[in-house]
Amino acid sequence: MKIEQVEWDNPDAVALRACQRVEIAERYGTPDSEPGVPPSEADIAAFFVAYEDDGTAVGCGGLRALGADGGGGAGGDPGAGGVGEIKRMYVAPASRGTGVASRVLLALEDWARDQGWSSLRLETGDAQPDAVRFYTRSGYEPIPAFGHYADSDNSLCFERPL
């Protein structure tokens, strides 16, 4: 398996994000359960795709800069000591439990450290206990809802110092 940094509009990245959105819509019963500003090419600092040895794209994840205070202003340049947000983490169902998510998360954390960021935050929903288990196992701890998620009753937020 290899993890590659790709452009936001990379066809494999687009396909994986589309699968993720379908799965989220099924879990929450609505096609638009995004409580915050959806990520876009304009505000994603880095995006990674996991590929099997045969070239099949099986997972992805990205990072959004939140600014030096981590307040949630999308697109801010956090610079040294800043905060980033994990966005669009997804692993294809057939590849779950194989370490893909851990490898993508490690690539995101390594990239953020290389930028001088001090921590990563994320938001997931209350209908995603599998995500909560994954992030807590990976060292992320619950924090108060931040930024656009502060008024969302379904949002669960986490953070990990780097």
Model pLDDT, residue 65: 93
Rounded CA gap, 38 and 153, in Å?
18
pLDDT tens, 4-44? 999 999 999 999 999 999 999 999 888 777 787 889 999 99
- The confidence band for 74, taking pLDDT boundaries of 50, 70 and 90, is very low
Q: Which domains can be identified in the chain, with CATH numbers?
A: 2-161 (3.40.630.30)
pTM, to two decimals: 0.91
pLDDT of 69 above 90: no
Model pLDDT, residue 71: 56
pLDDT tens, 126-141? 999 999 999 999 999 9
Is the CB of residue 139 less than 8 Å from the CB of residue 121?
no
